[in-house]
Amino acid sequence: MQPYTSRMELPENSPLVVFANREPYIHVHSPEGVEVRRPASGLVSALEPVLQNRGGLWIAHGSGSADAEHCDSDGRLDVPPDAPRYQLKRVWLSPSERRAYYDGFSNEALWPLFHIAHHQPIFRKGDWDAYVRVNERFARSLSQESPRPAPTILVQDFHLALVPRILRSDLGLQGAIPRIGLVWHIPWVPADLYRICPWSADILIGILGADLVTFHTQSYCNNFLECCERLLECRVDRDRQSVTYQGHETRIRAVPIGIDPAPVIGHSPPELRTYVQQRFGIRPEILALGVDRLDYTKGIPERLQAIERFLEQNPVYLGRFSFLQIASPSRTDVPAYREFAQTVRAEADRINSRFMPRLSPGDTLPIHIESTHHEWESIAVLYQAADLCLVTSLHDGMNLVAKEYVWSKRDGSGALILSRFAGASTELQEAFLVNPYDIEDIADTMRTVLATDKDVKRARMLRLRERVSSNTAQSWADEVLETLAA
């Protein structure tokens, strides 16, 4: 296998290395043989085109049941498997490490800590110890290779907060000082909420090994600066937007992530209706759509209750309106996620049973939940078919579904109902913004959207498309890398 190369102009031809917990290609055993799966991950869909364009190395947890059979003894393989453009290196974790580092510390402690969705974080010392160990394993999978020239490193997200400091010290000792950026894809909370974490200072110290830390909004940056100021002995410079800890300065910047605005393959309205009918067995006059991982931060039960309220108040839509929720299973080993999946199913059944007696034969049920993973191609068609899309996360770092929906509406049709507490709302101002906790607000907004003149909605959607096309995954990566190189 060839060593990884980068085609991008990085300082001193420094190769690009991405660290992320999630791998972009997962080999799994299935009854049909080995399948290569793409995960339901906004991070992967944004970063993958960047690696495909620039080349480089992606270091991730090898989580698939057939992963080990599809790489060399070093965990490396060329990807995409059918037309290689860059390399993936898989890091192996034991089942107990995965449980403690991923299910435990990442998803039961940090995830609820940073998403104010009123789920109490669970802090276990054993999970923290595993998190430290796994972060070391990730960092050393690169530093043990003594890479030359010093790479440009982009560490992704809350799973790997300690990697920047470990890399800085390991690679520094080898005399190859790398440039390290950390991209934080979820929200960052104010200090009073953050400091309940028993290891709050250790996490900050780990992160401050980076030269640059980016968040998706300025308010997350401000929260992070406040946490450093209050919890560490360091110098916070608000004008420069930087933190200096033990003589090393880390710049903090808001760089909102975008999507890859690939050309949209258009389908005619009759084709779209036929697709929805054949694939999902429904043929509503008005199709509303939700596309989320089954995660309690996404506000799905509140969304269903808002639909119930909307139909209560506007019975004229009964039988004509359907809400289709694509709900990809996620983090199913975490009890809170399993309970959440049951709650969503029970809410949908309750609401459907309530309205069923008022439907005529041939009418469509109000709510359809599809809790299986759907490939991008299928979701792209659904986006085009949907008259409105509900993105009502209780709290979300960015939310790329909102941007993907807008981009799919190349004719300017449709409408986006968007949570004020999703990072995307700072950019997508022409969306119909709602408080996702306020069921009346969502229900009223649905009514408003359906009553709004088509041309008015089209103008809003076209403006949103301009915004999405002017801030893409590629321009996001360029800005992060340029800022890092500066």
Point out which residues bind ligand F6P (CB under 6 A).
Answer: 22, 41-43, 157, 185-186, 330-331, 397
Extract the tokens encoding 9: 């102009």
Find the residue with minimal CB distance to ligand F6P: 43
Kindly report the backbone phi and psi dihedral angles of residue 145, in degrees, each rounded to the nearest multiple of 5, phi listed first.
-85, 0
321 vs 407, beta carbon nearer ligand F6P: 407
In the complex, the smallest distance separating the C-beta of residue 419 from ligand F6P, rounded to whole angstroms, is 14
43 vs 416, beta carbon nearer ligand F6P: 43
For 12, 95, 326, the CA distances from 98, given in Å and listed in that order, are 36, 5, 27
395 vs 460, beta carbon nearer ligand F6P: 395
In the complex, the smallest distance separating the C-beta of residue 330 from ligand F6P, rounded to whole angstroms, is 5
In the complex, the smallest distance separating the C-beta of residue 46 from ligand F6P, rounded to whole angstroms, is 9
- Contacts of 261-267 spanning 24+ positions with Cβ under 8 A: 261/407, 261/468, 261/469, 261/472, 264/380, 264/384, 264/407, 264/408, 264/410, 265/380, 266/384, 266/410, 266/411, 267/381, 267/384, 267/385
In the complex, the smallest distance separating the C-beta of residue 186 from ligand F6P, rounded to whole angstroms, is 5
Buried b (16+ CB within 10 A) or exposed e, 168-187: bebbeeeebebbbbbbbbbb
In the complex, the smallest distance separating the C-beta of residue 108 from ligand F6P, rounded to whole angstroms, is 12
26 vs 276, beta carbon nearer ligand F6P: 26
In the complex, the smallest distance separating the C-beta of residue 158 from ligand F6P, rounded to whole angstroms, is 7
86 vs 101, beta carbon nearer ligand F6P: 101
- C-beta atoms surrounding 49 within 10 Å: 18
98 vs 165, beta carbon nearer ligand F6P: 98
158 vs 355, beta carbon nearer ligand F6P: 158
In this structure, what DSSP letter does residue 6 have?
B
Q: What's the rounded Cα separation, in Å, for the pair 73 and 70?
A: 10
Kindly report the backbone phi and psi dihedral angles of residue 63, in degrees, each rounded to the nearest multiple of 5, phi listed first.
-105, -5
In the complex, the smallest distance separating the C-beta of residue 326 from ligand F6P, rounded to whole angstroms, is 15
Query: What stretches of 89-146 show up as alpha helix (H) in DSSP?
Result: 95-98, 111-114, 125-143
For 190, 204, 225, 279, the CA distances from 194, given in Å and listed in that order, are 6, 11, 12, 44
